[in-house]
A and B are shown apart, each in its own frame.
Chain A
Amino acid sequence: EAGVAQSPRYKIIEKRQSVAFWCNPISGHATLYWYQQILGQGPKLLIQFQNNGVVDDSQLPKDRFSAERLKGVDSTLKIQPAKLEDSAVYLCASSPFTTLSGANVLTFGAGSRLTVL
């Protein structure tokens, strides 16, 4: 099966500019996640969708970050305006399971590396 697709792979912007990342999960996967991975750290959840609804966005800096998952398939993560500390790899992951089902295994995309100058 095709994996989780992400684009762009690399992006360099100046602070205060905006950027958008796109993710297409594995076909049929109900749950989609965006993680932020800062250099030297483990991934941290930004937002979790189940179908096209938000399950958890408690760690999303909502003053500058937004995400949507229209039609419960692909998703877009936007940052506006970007800050220097947003430099990171943004990982998208998907899972076939929903909240009521069993153990959860996430499949990750290759990530989008953002550099903010």
Chain B
Amino acid sequence: AQSVTQPDIHITVSEGASLELRCNYSYGATPYLFWYVQSPGQGLQLLLKYFSGDTLVQGIKGFEAEFKRSQSSFNLRKPSVHWSDAAEYFCAVGGRGANNLFFGTGTRLTVIP
């Protein structure tokens, strides 16, 4: 069965500190992995995606994520967090073709001065 686990419901970091958001997935075929960000009252914006190839992918706003097949993980990282990064972050998994995306429950990021 397909599923995504984001073990951290809420994370608080200081501005300028590094960030890592965890994501573990379960998928029966070759997974395509995504991170989306949702600001309050807004829809989901794609940060980055992994389909194949280099397991370290770069996204927008200085984010990156690393695919580790052996750990079924796709953790999101940023070396220095900005106050504008405060939002809800969702990890999602899908497969080849126009299949559904399965989302995790999200991690809410708070950034303190």
Contacts and interface: CB of A to CB of B under 8 A. Distances in A.
To the question of whether A and B form a pair in one complex, the answer is yes
Contacts, number: 71
B44 A43 contact: yes
B43 interface: yes
Contacts of A108: 36, 43-45
Interface residues of B, number: 25
Interface residues of A, number: 34
Interface string A40-82: 1111110010100001100000000000000000000000000
Interface string A87-116: 000010101011111111111111101000
A33 interface: yes
Given A103-B32, A105-B46, A110-B42, A56 B96 contact: no
A33 B96 CA distance: 16
A104 B99 contact: yes
A45 B100 contact: yes
Interface stretch (B55-63, B64-72, B75-83, B101-109): B101-109
A17 B90 CA distance: 32
A98 B98 CA distance: 5
A44 B103 contact: yes
A43 to B, nearest CB: 5
B97 A102 contact: yes
A106 to B, nearest CB: 6
A77 B62 CA distance: 36
Interface of B: 4, 32, 34, 36, 41-46, 49, 51, 90, 92, 94, 96-101, 103-106
